[in-house]
Chains A and B, each alone.
Chain A
């Protein structure tokens, strides 16, 4: 039981490049989330998915797209990366009132 896994762990992009952050959970949870955390700040919700086939915007969705591929996987795509998207990205899934977080992806956009 791996919990929530994220790939890659680190990524460096040039401005304008695109990439997809992958997230998977093996706990059969319905709800999944993508957050970003800037240095010294709390987590901000980008997108969430209440169940397979549904997605909805969080606080800071601009510049991102998501796909809930199936119940296990929830990906986050940056179509044209900007330096302001330099951050640590966390994926999470929810059971009841408890969120389970992945280890994070540290993204730097130069």
Chain B
């Protein structure tokens, strides 16, 4: 299983762009990268998933360099409601992500 490393916490202000980088040096060929968001007292919620290059959806962008040893979640123009914990996960979709490891995540605090 590819282990992931993320910053423990980040601070930002409303309207700024936030980039959270995750390191996964031993990522395997079949592994996909997935990001989840968790608000207090709720279960995690899927944000975005990618394999390589760049993926964008209505919520965020995911940048993955060619060596895939890291990935960066980009949140454009954050608001107070983006204050949450963000988890980076790496897993093999072919085996159904059977043993996904969440880690401690990055606690993002957005201030006015």
Contact = CB atoms under 8 A, between A and B. Distances in A.
Interface of A: 4, 30-31, 33, 35, 41-45, 48, 50, 56, 58-59, 90, 92, 94, 96-104
Interface of B: 32, 34, 36, 41-46, 49, 87, 91, 93, 96-105
A99 B46 contact: yes
A108 to B, nearest CB: 14
B96 A30 contact: yes
Given A98-B46, A104-B43, A45 B101 contact: yes
Given A45-B100, A50-B96, A101-B45, 14 more contacts: A41-B104, A42-B103, A43-B87, A45-B102, A48-B98, A94-B96, A97-B34, A97-B97, A98-B34, A98-B49, A99-B44, A99-B46, A104-B42, A104-B43
Contacts of B98: 31, 48, 50, 56
A110 B41 CA distance: 21
Contacts of A58: 99
Contact of B43 (A59, A92, A96): A92
